[in-house]
Structure 1
Amino acid sequence: MKFTKSLILFILCLLLASCSGEKEKAAKHDVLSFDPIQVDGLDSSLLSYKMTYSSEGEQAVAYVTLPKKAGAYHVNLSLHGGFPASKDLSHVQDMMGLTFDKNMLLYTSTPGMISLVPLYRGYGESDGTVPGLKGATLDTSHAIDALTAYLEKNETRKSTGKVFVSGTSLGGGVGLKLATMRDDIADVVAVSPYVGLDIVYPWLLDNRDKDIGFLEMFQEAYGAYDQNSEETKEESILVEKIDVPVLMVQGDADTHIDSHTVEVFYDRLKKENEHTTYKLIPDGDHGLTNKQQELNATITTWFHEQFQ
């Protein structure tokens, strides 16, 4: 009888441990709230929401649009820029003319798709402090999982399981790193992309005359450059793990992300992935804000060549 009781207790412990593990796993990307919001000027076929979710123990915010009609839709993931290294800053409200609020949906939402605009920890209404590339990528991955699970459980609008990614600056790097981690990424469009610590840090050390403050940021966050450190590996992007179509668009007048660093990354990726395209736009600034028509035409042409 003692053996039986011991066995029962052992099985109960296993079950409790299993349940606890599931709860911990779910807590990484729980949806804490999914509230309707009004975004003036949004396409009439879409409804907009503010999603609060859990990411690495903090509450993060993402903005979402859903088509009004029930059905299965691809996810259009839009990734904003930010600091390329971790900083002790929280609730950063804007950067380089971009305000981190619901109006981001006006130029990122797409009729006929589910749109997702996550704010990494430390930006806008998201709690926590600004993370580096790895942290911002984890926040984004958790946002995808949170939205997918929420829609599956609560909505008549579902995800097809394909995520189309576009990102600018740090967001471009997040999109590229995301493609090394997830199987549901369909493509990556990276505009003026930050291409990882292993390329940018040593390049800045050799080109100090072109540094606008990033070198000091890296030194404060990561110390002296060490190509073999675990931190360098975590803050870099493994090109051999990217097997989806990639478009990188860069301006040659960009003073924030130098085109040479993007070209180094492109050369590495092209050797691993033939579905990689690079376009350098003369006189284009950071984010190609002064070359929007050419940027949009480049993306449209490339997308039709890849998916039509």
Structure 2
Amino acid sequence: MKRTYSLILLMLCLFLASCSSEKEKTFVEDKTTKVVAFDPIKVEGLNVILQAYKMTYMSEGEEAVAYVTLPEKEGSYPVNLSLHGGFPASKDLSHVSDMMGVTFDKNMVLYSASPGLISLVPLYRGYGESDGTVPGLNGATLDTSHAIDALTAYLEKNEKRKSTEDVFVSGTSLGGGVGLKLATIRDDLADVVAVSPYVGLDPVYPWLLENQDKDIGFLDMYQEAYGDYDPKSEQTKEESINVKKINVPVLIVQGDADRHTDWHPVKSFYDELKKENDNTTFELIPDGDHGLMNKQEELNAITAAWFNEQF
């Protein structure tokens, strides 16, 4: 979803302006960090002091695409990771071009680019120019993790603009879930801001079974992709998010009029996460729709205030 994070990006830049020292690390390029191509692109409307690129990288044996912006001057910068929405379950679809008003192309980078940051917008397999078919939550998380590794390794080897290995994460819908799950498998995340997040199979599937009057087609999707709900199966665990492994600051913002991501399982997920991670905040916006498209000013105010408190 289109989101305007200019306030939080400015705050992030000011806070991290002094982060110019490079960390000592040796990167070994392998199939999970291989960059196939790193091509400069033009993005209309992008800040003229930023340079944009299309990065083609390998993820789970397929070529995937991510869009990147780099600051003009050499140095080390945090990564601003922006994660898009999509299907919550795997589907036999490839090169999905758009969903719910979002076109999966280079213009997505406009909503996360900032002069003081490295911006990274990965497209999961099956979306936009990425090969392969649409994965579920776990597959999209792996794609994102590979994109971070690929970019970090490429910059270390080829650029004077490098990553500090501090990754600030924002995601909407499926992307919010990807950010949360990413926090369970990586230790370089600084925070996660999740807007209208898909919180995984374990909370959502059983809730829909008990509230089928709220279902708008997701039950059939889960049934087709995963069969009957089985809380003990490895697949359910794989497509869910282990709250015990999240220890970074988390902000979850949800609308109570969201028909695609009902707020009840999101609140239940938050309650469980709060028990494990006290630095977790949940904000429910009255009449907010999916992605809070109709409540952008409120979303920006909440996000900016939370970020200012954290950093």
The answer, yes or no, to whether TM exceeds 0.5 is yes
Aligned pair partner of 2:154 in 150, 153, 156:
150
Q: Percent identity?
A: 76
Counterpart CA distance in 2 for 1:46 and 1:203 is 45
Q: Does 2:244 align with 1:236?
A: no
Report whether the alignment pairs 1:41 with 2:45: yes
Contact 2:255/2:263 (8 A) holds in 1: yes
Q: CA deviation at 1:43?
A: 1.2
Q: Which residue in 1 is equivalent to 2:295?
A: 291
- Measure, in 1, the Cα distance between the counterparts of 2:115 and 2:199: 30
One-letter identity of the residue aligned with 2:46: L
Determine helix, strand or coil for the equivalent of 1:26. coil
Which residue in the other structure is 1:18 paired with?
Answer: none
AA aligned to 1:291 is K
Separation of aligned partners in 2, 1:187 and 1:222: 30
Q: Which amino acid aligns with 1:210?
A: K
Name which of 194, 197, 200 aligns with 1:196. Answer: 200
Q: Which residue of 2 aligns with 1:74?
A: 78
Write out aligned runs for 1:240-259 (5 A): 240-259=244-263
SS at match of 2:152: helix
Task: Select between 248-257 and 106-115 the one with higher mean Cα deviation.
Answer: 106-115
Whole-angstrom CA distance in 1 between matches of 2:293 and 2:299 = 9
Greater length-normalized contact order (CA 8 Å, ≥ 6 residues apart): 2
Matches within 5 A, 1:161-240: 161-240=165-244
For residue 212 of structure 1, report the CA deviation from its aligned partner: 0.4
Greater percentage in helix: 1
Deviating above 3 A after TM superposition, structure 1's stretches of 4 or more consecutive aligned residues are none
Which amino acid is the alignment partner of residue 294 of structure 2?
N
How big is each residue's C-alpha offset from its partner over 1:52-109, in whole Å with a ceiling of 9 and x where there is no partner?
0000000000000000100000000000000000000000000000000000011121
> 1:302 is matched with which residue?
306
1:111 Cα offset (Å): 2.1
Counterpart of 2:174 in structure 1: which amino acid?
Answer: L
- Structure 2: runs of 5+ lacking an equivalent: 1-26
Equivalent residue for 1:279? 283
5+ residue gaps, structure 1, are 1-21
Q: Deviation at 1:134?
A: 0.3
Q: Is the CA contact 2:32–2:149 (under 8 Å) kept in the aligned structure 1?
A: no
Question: Over aligned residue pairs, what C-alpha RMSD do you find?
Answer: 1.0
1:175-217 C-alpha deviation (Å, 9 max, x unpaired): 0000000010110000000000000000000000000000000
Corresponding residue for 2:64?
Answer: 60
Distance 2:189 2:162 in 1: 16
